[in-house]
């Protein structure tokens, strides 16, 4: 049992009572075998746990039904199809990762909170109050090797709604693969006998070639020394979420010349955030700064990766420039760098990454003066329906997660209190840099429409 730290627009405080964690194994016997991860899966930059959270409203048609019981049973049945998730990760020669399909199961926790969904306010977005109690870090479970690959907590709320939180070992799946598994659990929870999309392992499709050969330029994996201590410090971090809707995008687009008006919202917003964040962190003019864009490569293959493939199938293309050039040039300069980086990802590029991993010891992507963005608007977290309807919020639990915290942000679909559709973006920065980030953002948007952090109040920070 724990009290939440004051957070959210209402300084929400509530108590969570947890049951003891348990292992949920597949409902039927599953193959005992060892399955190799791909050479994209087991790179150093994916060797961490990724948390997601789903909020569900009460549904009169489900009155008297226990979401924890229903979901626990559905997880056991889904693991018959997704049995590698019930195994444990091992490391072999040359740091090669593999799943030992032991059938031991995933961790499951059920809990009750003396709070209603309505008390969270209109703005269900990161950072969430009492986050550590809504997804309890079971002692000894957070390591990458030899521990459960998934941790799930279902927390019942006083109103009849509930919160579904999940932590995944990222080497196993990307967002698309995770949502595929969550939908399998949800379909079975709603009465299906098997998932509508059958899982496909086939990690060999993204293995290195024989012999491996690096054929593309991969500056995202350059080993850059941190000579000036510019990796973000982790002690005084501020977590805030920012909403960008039609008004904000319109204001930003006015900064671009006519020939760039056709650029996507992703390209324009990514360029803006990169520029604002660089100004906030105040690197020296000559220092290199990087923007890393997560690009889903499933459709880049010919033929495409098979439907049902749930491994990691994305790249980290990067744009690199000096801090001085990024600050001094118009926004269009950064937009063009982002656009070109996204265009780098092809089938050949993916094979080249797999080859690089084998040849260079599975390095981490460059984190020195880097900012990473991941667009999960099409991943479908909010569509996952366990029987209580679609999620009121579904997606990443916070920004800044990763093997190196503080580097990543997610673009999450969101509808604000006015009914405007847009994106909510959790940002994680040192507190002083966050203040400068907000000032820069407002100086750009203030003449048109002030960006909002939540629908109930202005800027919120929380120590997560």
Model pLDDT, residue 126: 83
What band does 302 get if pLDDT is binned at 50, 70 and 90? very high
**What would the 3-class secondary structure string for the chain be?**
CEECCCCCCCCCCCEEEECCCEEECCCCCCCCCEEECCCCCCCHHHCCEEEEEEEECCCHHHCCCCHHHHHHHHHHHHHHHCHHHHCEEEECHHHCEEEECCCCCEEEEEEEECCCHHHHCCCCCCCCCCHHHHCCCCCCCCCCCCCECEEEEEEEECCCCEEEEEEEECCCCCHHHHHHHHHHHHHHHCCCCCCCCCCECCHHHHCCCCCCCCCCCCHHHCCCCCCCCCCCCCCCEEEEEEEECHHHHHHHHCCCCHHHCCCCHHHHHHHHHHHHHHHHHCCCCCCEEEEEECEECHHHCCCCCCCCECCCCEECCEEEEEHHHHHHCCHHHHHHHHHHHHHCCCHHHHHHHHHHHHHHCCCCCCCCCEEEEEECCCCCHHHCCCCCCCCCEEEECCCCCCCCCCCEEEEEEEECCCCCEEEEEEEEEEHHHHHHHHHHHHHHHCCCCCCECCCCCCCCCECC
- Catalytic residue, from 41, 42, 112, 170: name it: 170
Does the annotation count 170 as an active-site position?
yes
Which is higher by pLDDT, 464 or 155? 155
pTM of the model: 0.90
- Catalytic residue, from 100, 385, 435, 449: name it: 385
Answer whether 16-206 and 227-450 agree in fold.
Answer: yes
Average pLDDT taken over every residue of the chain = 89
Which CATH class, in words, describes the domain spanning 16-206?
Answer: alpha beta
Instruction: Write the pLDDT tens digit of every residue in 134-165.
Output: 999 999 999 999 999 999 999 999 999 999 99
Instruction: Write the pLDDT tens digit of every residue in 378-411.
Output: 999 999 999 999 999 999 887 655 656 668 889 9
Does the annotation count 385 as an active-site position?
yes
Q: Which CATH superfamily is domain 227-450 in?
A: Chloramphenicol acetyltransferase-like domain (3.30.559.10)
Q: What residue ranges do the domains of the chain occupy?
A: 16-206, 227-450
């Amino acid at each position: 049992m724990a009290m939440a730290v004051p957070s959210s627009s209402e300084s929400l405080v509530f108590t969570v009572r947890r049951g003891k964690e348990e292992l949920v194994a597949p409902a039927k016997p599953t193959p005992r075998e060892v399955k190799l991860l791909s050479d994209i899966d087991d790179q150093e930059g994916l060797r961490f746990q990724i948390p997601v959270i789903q909020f569900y409203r009460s549904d009169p048609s489900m009155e008297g039904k226990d979401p924890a019981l229903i979901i626990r049973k559905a997880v056991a049945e889904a693991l018959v199809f997704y049995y590698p998730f019930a195994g444990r990760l091992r490391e072999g020669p040359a740091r090669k990762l593999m799943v030992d399909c032991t059938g031991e199961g995933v961790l499951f926790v059920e809990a009750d909170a003396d709070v209603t969904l309505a008390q969270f306010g209109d703005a269900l977005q990161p950072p969430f109050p009492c986050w550590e109690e809504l997804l309890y870090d079971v002692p000894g479970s957070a390591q990458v090797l030899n521990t459960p690959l998934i941790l799930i907590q279902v927390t019942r709320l006083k109103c009849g709604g509930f919160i579904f939180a999940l932590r995944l070992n990222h080497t196993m799946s990307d967002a698309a693969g995770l949502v595929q598994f969550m939908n399998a659990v949800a379909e079975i929870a709603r009465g299906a006998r098997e998932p509508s999309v059958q899982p496909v392992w086939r990690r060999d499709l993204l293995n290195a070639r024989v012999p491996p050969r690096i054929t593309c330029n991969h500056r995202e994996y350059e080993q850059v020394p941190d000579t000036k201590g510019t990796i973000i410090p982790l002690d005084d971090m501020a977590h805030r979420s920012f909403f960008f809707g039609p008004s904000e995008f319109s204001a930003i687009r006015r900064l671009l010349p006519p020939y760039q008006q056709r650029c996507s919202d992703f390209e324009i917003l990514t360029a803006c955030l990169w520029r604002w964040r660089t100004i906030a962190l105040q690197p020296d003019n000559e220092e290199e700064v990087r923007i890393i864009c997560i690009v889903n490569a499933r459709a880049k293959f010919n033929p495409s990766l098979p439907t049902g493939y749930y491994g990691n199938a994305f790249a980290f293309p990067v744009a690199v420039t000096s801090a001085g050039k990024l600050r001094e040039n118009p926004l269009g300069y950064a937009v063009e760098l982002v656009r070109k980086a996204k265009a780098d990802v092809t089938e050949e590029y993916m094979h080249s990454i797999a080859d690089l991993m084998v040849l260079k010891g599975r390095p981490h992507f460059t984190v020195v003066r880097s900012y990473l963005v991941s667009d999960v608007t099409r991943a479908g977290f909010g569509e996952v329906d366990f029987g209580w309807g679609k999620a009121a919020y579904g997606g990443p639990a916070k920004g800044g997660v990763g093997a190196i915290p503080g580097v990543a942000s997610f673009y999450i679909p969101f509808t604000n209190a006015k009914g405007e559709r847009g994106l909510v973006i959790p940002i994680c920065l040192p507190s002083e840099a966050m203040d400068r980030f907000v000032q820069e953002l407002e100086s750009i948007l203030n003449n048109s429409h002030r960006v909002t952090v939540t629908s109930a109040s202005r800027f919120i920070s929380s120590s997560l």
